[in-house]
Amino acid sequence: MGMTYIQKLLARACGKETVAVGDILELPVGLAMSHENAALVINQFREIYRETGIEARVWDPERIAIIFDHRVPAESSKTATNHKRTREFVAQQGITKFHDVRGDVGGICHQILPENGYVRPGQILVGTDSHTTTHGALGAFAFGIGATEMAAVWALGSILNVEAPGTIKVVVNGALPNGVYAKDLILHLVGLLSAEGANFRVIEFHGDVIRNMPTSGRLVLCNMAVEAGATAGVVPPDEETCRYLRDEAGVSDELDLFAADPDAVYERVVEIDATLLDPQIACPHTVDNVKSIGGLKGKKINQIVVGSCTNGRLDDIEIVARTLKGKHVAEGTRMLVFPASWRIYTDAMEAGYLRDLISAGAVVCNPGCGPCLGIHQGALGDDEVALATTNRNFKGRMGNPGAEVYLCSPAVAAASALTGTITDPREGN
Amino acid sequence: MAKGTVVLQLENDISTDIIYPGRFMATVLPSETPQFAFADDKAFNKKLNDGLIPAGSFIVAGDNFGCGSSREQAASCIKGYNITVVARNFARIFLQNSINVGLQMIICPEIDAGEGDELEVRDNRVVNLATGKSFAIEALPRARQAIIDAGGLIPYARHLLLERVA
């Protein structure tokens, strides 16, 4: 019986001929990523060693990545102290993939990993962040874990007692119409599957639309696979994967490329005709509450947020800058832009996008996660409504349980910024 | 067997943002997180902090409890009160975090209980003593049984570490 991409990946990683769904495995970890919650991981890591008489050393300091992104620069003395302790741990353990609060190397973890060439096809990548699914866009088996789980990875180098997951195959054929993007596709899929439709499962993406999609779009799809509950999203690696890794991420070592078997067995196959898609909006307060834009046009918006690990990449900022160039964000609406990394920030600066955004009235902030989860900048007032290119709209998500968050593509965010209401980007201004 | 009162009844898709709002995430230690449990539900949070919720109480929820962010604070903050969560099912990361930190969870796909009902866990069923109805318990993932048996991931990982050195 044939294997899905992830079954095959697991078999290779574990040195087995085959892996069946439900097999219980101990997976050797290729990369272990944490952000500010490294502070908790460090605490739990030391707990594991307590009273063992063994010196607490991480299994491989070159396979651990720590990226400060959730609260940068520190918003409180508590965060600053967590940062400080984590820096000391990094130095003590010799951890090499450390991205501090710096303009030359900083950014959001789910952009820093791909753009620095840390992600590989076939890799087992775990992160103490649910959006670790992002890295499946480059053919890794990448999934979120908790801090204690990560502490065990740091100690042992493997992720224990993992059950090989079943896979949902999503085939997207046709072509995305003008004004419709990867974000609309994944919102549509989350609406279709529901917030728990892929719980404990992998989503494997196929079809013409995926084949023709640049890595920036694939990262969006896999990023939000977790919003359908998926353990991981994955795009089996192809020419575009190699192009991105070679040309954009500076990877020169040999790549391990393989595909799912033609007779692989999937739990479910979902076919989507992209040609029929409209811009999609996820309405409060669940990500699977997805509607086509039609019925929502004219909804008043107080704050627009462009950025995050989902849609803060250069092509996202380009769409917004081109729409806003020479125009103005509507009176009564605030617009915040958070590029996903400082590399993207400086590229956008050199392309003139930041100037266009600022001249139009947008506030361009430093790269970081802050507003997406209501922990640092961009909080909402009582009864306010936000339209955001981020990935979650849960009650209280942007720092106020009395506010509402709608999720959309950068194109919808840009068109709506000009009018101050939800606006279809295909209708022009 | 365990008997206790339902102190909170919740709907489907309760996210970790609801259980432990993001703005408190700089607080990480399991000894400090319980104060912020369900912080946006001010009345319930106050009861917890005032010591009005006895250990052994139950939270009852629908599908996909603990969806969203991987923040482990969401599991440790409930664990701090020794409350058991009974849900129709749990989101993966929350379920694993809960097993890792030793939070008591029961997967009970048909559970039907409201606030104030008394529940008893016996013979692999949850019995609602208020209605007399009982509901089957679904086993936790077998892959994780060894961690449950060890009393959590820290003792389990410590044991593996010592085995490797020996």
Q: How far is CA A262 from CA A2, A112, A377, in A?
A: 7, 33, 48
A161 and A55 within one domain: yes
Rounded Cα gap, residues B106 and B140, in angstroms: 8
Total domains in chain A come to: 2
- Residue B64 located in a structural domain: yes
Q: How far is CA A357 from CA A85, A271, A321, B69, in A?
A: 37, 38, 6, 30
Chain B residues in contact with A396 (beta carbon < 8 A): 17-18, 21-22, 40
Strand arrangement, sheet containing A268-273: A232-234, A201-206, A166-173, A268-273
| Residues in A touching B146 (Cβ below 8 Å) | 161
B111: three-class secondary structure by DSSP? coil
Which pLDDT does position B166 carry in this prediction?
82
Domain that holds residue B122: 3-141
CA–centroid distance for A252 within its chain: 24
CATH number at residue B38: 3.20.19.10
The sign of the CA dihedral A379, B32, B79, B102 is positive
Same domain, A223 and A306: no
Hey, is the C-beta of A26 within 8 angstroms of any chain B C-beta?
A: no
In a domain, residue B152? The reply is no
The pLDDT value recorded for residue B165 is 85
Last residue of a domain, one of A251, A272, A293: A272
Cβ contacts below 8 Å, chain A against chain B, sum to: 155
Q: Verify that A112 and A258 share a domain, yes or no.
A: yes
Last residue of a domain, one of A217, A245, A272: A272
**For chain A, which residues score pLDDT lower than 70?**
428-429
Single residue among A272, A301, A319 that ends a domain in this structure: A272
In angstroms, the separation between the Cα of residue B13 and the nearest Cα of chain A is 7
Same domain membership, residue A124 and residue A30: yes
**Residue B1, pLDDT above cutoff 60:** no
pLDDT tens for each residue of B17-55: 999 999 999 999 999 999 999 999 999 999 999 999 999
**Are A175 and A320 found together in one domain?**
no
Residue A402 sits in a domain whose CATH number is 3.30.499.10
How many Cα atoms sit within 13 Å of A302 on the Cβ side?
13
A304 within 8 A of A387, measured Cβ to Cβ: yes
Is A149 near chain B, with CB under 8 Å? yes
CB distance from B45 to chain A under 8 Å?
no
Give the domain extent around A388. 279-427
Chain B hits for A39, CB-CB cut-off 8 Å, are 28
Rg (CA), chain A: 21
Residue A310 in tokens: 């989902």
Distance CA A99, CA A107 (A): 8
- Candidates B65, B67, B99: best to mutate against A (most CBs of A within 10 A) is B67
Q: Is residue B7 part of a domain?
A: yes
State pLDDT tens for residues A108-124: 999 999 999 999 999 99
Residues A240 and A374 in one domain: no
Same domain? A222 vs A254: yes
Asked if the structure places residue B148 within a domain, the reply is no
Buried-exposed string A260-275: b where 16+ CB fall within 10 A, e elsewhere: beeebebeeebebebe
Q: Which residue of B has its CA nearest to A58?
A: B161
Q: What's the CA gap between B120 and B57, in Å, rounded?
A: 10
Rg for chain B, CA atoms, rounded: 16
A268 and A283 co-located in one domain: no
Residue-wise pLDDT tens digits, B85-121: 999 999 999 999 999 999 999 999 999 999 999 999 9
- Put residue B56 in one of left, alpha, beta given phi > 0 → left and psi -120 to 50 → alpha: left
Helices (H), A268-313: 308-311
Q: Are residues A286 and A229 in the same domain?
A: no
| A393 and A286 Cβ atoms separated by less than 8 Å | yes
Chain A from 263 to 322: CB within 8 A of any B CB: 286, 288
The minimum CA-CA distance between A198 and chain B, rounded to whole Å, is: 10
Considering the domain boundaries, does residue B80 fall inside one? yes
Q: What is the predicted pLDDT for the residue at B59?
A: 98
Confidence at residue A1, expressed as pLDDT on a 0 to 100 scale: 82
Locate the chain B residue with the closest alpha carbon to A288.
B13
Query: Is A229 part of the contact surface with chain B (CB cutoff 8 Å)?
Result: yes
- The pair phi, psi for residue A113, each rounded to 5°, is -60, -55
First to last CA, chain A: 55
Q: Which of residues 89-118 of B touch A (CB under 8 A)?
A: 89, 91-93, 96-97, 100-101
B82 falls within a domain: yes
Q: Considering the domain boundaries, does residue B160 fall inside one?
A: no
Burial of A308 (0-12, 13-18, 19+ CB in 10 A): buried
Whether B153 is covered by a domain: the verdict is no
- Residue A223 to residue A310: CA distance in whole angstroms: 6
Give yes or no: residues A177 and A263 share one domain. Answer: yes
What does the pLDDT look like over A41-80, one tens digit per residue? 999 999 999 999 999 999 999 999 999 999 999 999 999 9
Cβ distance B29 to A43 less than 8 Å, yes or no, reads: yes
Domain count, chain B: 1
B135-160 mean pLDDT: 94
Question: Quick one: A259 and A376 in the same domain?
Answer: no
Identify the pLDDT of residue A416: 98
